[in-house]
Homo-oligomer: A and B are copies of this chain.
Amino acid sequence: MHIAITGAAGFLGQRLVHQLLERGELNGQAIRRLTLIDQSEPPVVGRADIEVMPLALDISAPGALDPVLAARPDVIYHLAAVVSAAAEADLDLGMRVNFDATRALLEGCRAQGLSDTRLIMASSVAAYGGELPETLDDLTALHPQNSYGAQKAMSELLVNDYSRRGLVDGLVLRLPTIVIRPGRPNAAASSFASSILREPLGGEEAVCPVPTDLELFVMSPARVVEALVHGAEVPSEALGPFRAFMLPGITVSVAAMLETLREVAGDAALARVRHEPDARIAAIVGSWPARFTNDRARRLGFRGDDSFREIVQAFLDERA
């Protein structure tokens, strides 16, 4: 089994790589080769029986992925993306990376005849927006109110059409907001959702740019990686007529997140969160829905976290 991963140097990509190396197999087959693609060469972690090949590539450059696809990977994880606030700030960059590169990847699969290759793309809750029902389901329209979401929604349609035509075996997982990300704040509009826990838990200050009654739909890094792995194992026949759906996150308000912070780390930790409203961030994140049924995902065996407390505890356990 040969697995290729775009965005492999990213937070999610790295966690996925480690998980795959630890498992050594995917969908019942031994992993022989991992091709790790990112703008700069992803770090290589070794395992004697798996050939790990890091590649520095601009996947939006014409033909950039041809050599990778010519090696006929069995599974492709397409995680590379320009995040929400960055795509909002630069329409051209977002279109090129979030949409054109996805299209080039699909065209490459078509050119190489990779009809049996499982292509798993990460999409996002940011693809939803506008007028919405109280609780969203698998048939709720994507009316994105940010360019990142629009680019992801367009890519979903393309992955679905190429899969329907038998040109690739695609699957798009819409990710909830991932909490708690390690590291530093980034250009994602949802960056604060990790920041307001991670920084205070580490003894640092954090800024909360949104009202505390804002609800988010969140999932832990561990559950997201588990879903990516499971995405390679779901049989094509089970996927149904549209190959994109929301993963089962949990609904939590910013107030409840902060209350969990207080429960776990005390008043001192909570006091490290400064409230500085940012209308731009609040507008983007506020347009993302937070309540979903996830019938399709659950039927296909995808699992969510049990509670927000558990998400925070897992973060602390990992750090320890």
Give me the interface of A with B, judged by CB distance under 8 Å. 91, 129-133, 138-145, 147, 150, 153-154, 157-158, 160-161, 164-165, 240-242
Contacts and interface: CB of A to CB of B under 8 A. Distances in A.
A147 B160 contact: no
Nearest to A133: B139
A161 B165 CA distance: 27
A145 B242 CA distance: 8
B91 A165 contact: yes
Contact of A139 (B138, B140, B144, B165): B140
B144 A141 contact: no
Contacts of A138: 131, 141
Contacts of A153: 157
Contacts of A131: 138-139, 240-242
Copies of this polypeptide in the complex: 2
Contacts of A165: 91, 147
B150 A158 contact: yes
Contacts of A164: 145
B154 A242 contact: no
Interface of A is mostly: loop
* A-B pairs with lowest CB-CB distance, top 3: A130-B241, A143-B242, A150-B161
Contacts of A154: 154, 157-158
B141 A142 contact: yes
A160 B143 contact: yes
Contact of A144 (B130, B132, B161): B161
Contacts of A144: 157, 160-161
A241 B145 contact: yes
A316 to B, nearest CB: 38
Nearest to A243: B143
A131 B244 CA distance: 13
A242 B241 CA distance: 24
A111 B91 CA distance: 13
A207 to B, nearest CB: 26
Nearest to A150: B161
Contacts of A161: 144, 147, 150
Contact of A132 (B139, B147, B158, B160): B139
Contacts of A133: 139
B130 A242 contact: yes
Nearest to A139: B141
Contacts of A129: 241-242
Contacts of A91: 165
A132 B133 CA distance: 16
A189 B49 CA distance: 52
Given A145-B164, A150-B161, A154-B154, 11 more contacts: A91-B165, A131-B139, A131-B241, A133-B139, A139-B140, A139-B141, A140-B140, A143-B241, A144-B160, A147-B165, A154-B158
Contacts of A241: 129-131, 143, 145
